[in-house]
Amino acid sequence: MGYPPSSSLRPSACPALSRIVAARDGGLCRIKLPGGKLHARQALAIADAADLHASGLVELTNRGNLQLRGVKAGDETPLSQRLSDAGLGPRLGAAESLDPVLAAKQAAIADDARNLLLSPTAGLDVDALHDTVPLAERILALLQSEPRVAELSPKFSVLLDGGERLAALDHPHDVWFAAMPPAARVPGEARFAVGLAGQPSAHGGDALAAVRADDIVALMRALLHTFLDLAARDENRMRDLLRSHDRHAVLAHAAAKAGIDLQRGSDIETWRRAPTDSARRFGAHAQSNAGFWHVGGQPPLGRLGTATLRGLAELASALGDGSLRLTPWQGVLMPNVGERAVPQALDGLRSLGFVLDAKAPVARLIACAGSTGCVKGMADTKADALALAEQLPAGIEAHLSGCRRSCAAAHCAPYTLLAVAPARYDLYRRRQAADSERSSPLLDGAARFGERIGIHLTIEEAVTCLREAAGVQVP
């Protein structure tokens, strides 16, 4: 039985494929990619669309998506249509396609709901416990077809973690599932830990229960409806609901609705997610399918032009299978590269201007659009980040945010430079306690960034402060 959509939908100003949002540098169009996957022919279509209807500037996001900046006034509809024709919108059933008006409405709703994050190496990672790709397709089909998803905030997000070594686990999610080793009592049965309003971690104690892999889709649907049944109008995210409802009770209610037995026990209570290695997004690494490798890098500060995007598409077609995977670190992986072609693939990415070394200063920096692209930006964060990169102490990772919204980073970086005026920043250091790190994204305002250790700093003064905070001798 389906649930009717509510008459009180949650409004959104988030950019999407068919919702172009005004920014200082023109319209902003966000293209959500299922599992971060992008084919070379789609990349070429995006490059053409960006040149014709926008500024030609393409950004990679912290959820493995793309966005086009500088969409021209009056070009919004043809841009959205061109991208949809390239297969970049949500997949809709045949019933909706019979009615263009209904199809357009359902497409907009389904596009908002596609916030499912996977590892960029899902199905490829030699360390994975479970290949999440088929399961992810089932979850996406649910999110794109469920009528009631229109009531969810476009920011409502789900993590499906297969236990890969390359995985972004510092993003807070509304619902998360993480692969666990099979239970001793049921050898070989795939099961996943379940959590709400957070993420799995190596610290343990964050899983509420476990479920069979085959039960995840039914539980996800029940959790969606349970959230919407219980949430007040101003409770847009799971963390909001859990301020007034016990998380165990919410999960138990959803499981009962779905007719699913939750697995509990000491092995689940003490379970810890295996450590990850984000540096594996750079360079070349062997895949689980013998003889093939994935090769990765990042465009500086997550931005590239259309000529670079076309070059990337051509490289993927020539040396791989034509597929690309965007990462939650604003980078790109080129999978299924034959072993002999790996050196050529690395040289190709390098020639396109991609950063291939995790230790490179610009690889350790994140910056939002800043004042040149966003009306809320207090400083030109992109330019300031490049200036900071020239002096950044070794081992320091920092995030430059033009305002308190922190659009470029869903997680709390070790150091955050929060713009307070042109070329001026307050400097924050992330709290060291593991519990504080995990909860900091849920705090309000600048408190989410941690402890403030510098006020109204220039970039040069921030470098000095970073050196002192890291215990580095100032030359």
Check pLDDT > 50 for residue 8: no
| pLDDT reported for residue 113 | 76
Same domain? For 240 and 182 the reply is yes
Residue 59 lies in a domain: no
At 170, the amino acid letter reads: D
Check pLDDT > 80 for residue 275: yes
Check pLDDT > 90 for residue 392: yes
Please say whether the beta carbons of 148 and 6 come within 8 A.
yes
Give, in degrees to the nearest 5, the angle at Cα 133 between 157 and 269: 60
DSSP three-state, residue 405: coil
DSSP three-state, residue 128: coil
Residue 61 lies in a domain: no
Same domain? For 152 and 190 the reply is yes
Please give the average per-residue pLDDT across 23-36, as a whole number.
95
Please give the average per-residue pLDDT across 85-107, as a whole number.
69
Same domain? For 376 and 437 the reply is yes
What's the domain range around 187? Answer: 129-162+169-275
Boundary residue ending a domain (311, 331, 357): 357
Same domain? For 207 and 311 the reply is no
Structure token pair of residue 174: 């509304």
- Assign 249 a pLDDT band (cuts: 50, 70, 90): very high
Which residues are CB-contacts of 336 (< 8 A; sequence separation ≥ 6)? 287, 289, 292, 294, 320, 321, 323
Residue 229's H or E segment, with its range, is helix 216-230
CA–CA separation, 165 and 296 (whole Å):
15
The domain that holds 138 is classified in CATH as 3.30.413.10
Same domain? For 288 and 323 the reply is yes
| pLDDT reported for residue 446 | 78
At 304, the amino acid letter reads: L
Same domain? For 379 and 454 the reply is yes
Residue 314 lies in a domain: yes
| pLDDT reported for residue 379 | 98
Bridge partners, 296 (sequence order):
283, 333
Residue 465 lies in a domain: yes
Task: State whether the Cα torsion 309-315-317-321 is positive or negative.
Answer: negative
Regarding predicted confidence, which is higher, 283 or 169? 283
Instruction: Give percent of the chain with pLDDT exceeding 90.
Output: 78
Please say whether the beta carbons of 162 and 169 come within 8 A.
no
Check pLDDT > 70 for residue 472: no
Please say whether the beta carbons of 367 and 425 come within 8 A.
no
End-to-end CA distance of the chain: 69
- Assign 451 a pLDDT band (cuts: 50, 70, 90): very high
Boundary residue ending a domain (260, 275, 290): 275
| pLDDT reported for residue 200 | 93
| pLDDT reported for residue 475 | 47
Q: Counting runs of H as helices and runs of E as strands, what totals does the chain give?
A: 14, 20
Average pLDDT, the chain: 90
Same domain? For 182 and 291 the reply is no
- Assign 10 a pLDDT band (cuts: 50, 70, 90): very low
Most confident region among 77-81, 96-100, 184-188 by mean pLDDT: 77-81
pLDDT digits (tens, 9 = 90+) for 141-161: 999 888 888 899 988 999 999
Residue 255 lies in a domain: yes
| pLDDT reported for residue 473 | 55
Check pLDDT > 60 for residue 407: yes
Residue 243 lies in a domain: yes
Same domain? For 319 and 255 the reply is no
- Assign 47 a pLDDT band (cuts: 50, 70, 90): very high
Residue 283 lies in a domain: yes
Check pLDDT > 60 for residue 213: yes
Same domain? For 271 and 282 the reply is no
Please say whether the beta carbons of 401 and 360 come within 8 A.
no
Check pLDDT > 70 for residue 12: no
Structure token pair of residue 399: 């995030």
Quick one: CA torsion of 340, 280, 199, 370, rounded to 10 degrees?
A: -110
Quick one: CA torsion of 265, 270, 273, 274, rounded to 10 degrees?
A: -120
- Kindly tell me the burial class for residue 15, based on how many C-beta atoms sit within 10 Å of its own C-beta (0-12, 13-18, 19 or more): buried
The domain that holds 324 is classified in CATH as 3.30.70.3340
Check pLDDT > 80 for residue 444: no
Please give the average per-residue pLDDT across 247-268, as a whole number.
96
- Assign 99 a pLDDT band (cuts: 50, 70, 90): low
Same domain? For 133 and 271 the reply is yes
Check pLDDT > 60 for residue 86: yes
Boundary residue ending a domain (308, 330, 357): 357
Residue 111 lies in a domain: no
Please give the average per-residue pLDDT across 294-308, as a whole number.
98
pLDDT digits (tens, 9 = 90+) for 115-134: 999 999 999 999 999 999 99
pLDDT digits (tens, 9 = 90+) for 410-437: 889 999 999 999 999 999 999 875 433 4
- Assign 114 a pLDDT band (cuts: 50, 70, 90): confident
Number of domains in the chain: 3
Same domain? For 231 and 368 the reply is no
Task: State whether the Cα torsion 304-66-29-415 is positive or negative.
Answer: negative
pLDDT digits (tens, 9 = 90+) for 338-370: 999 999 999 999 999 999 999 999 999 999 999
Same domain? For 226 and 315 the reply is no
| pLDDT reported for residue 224 | 96
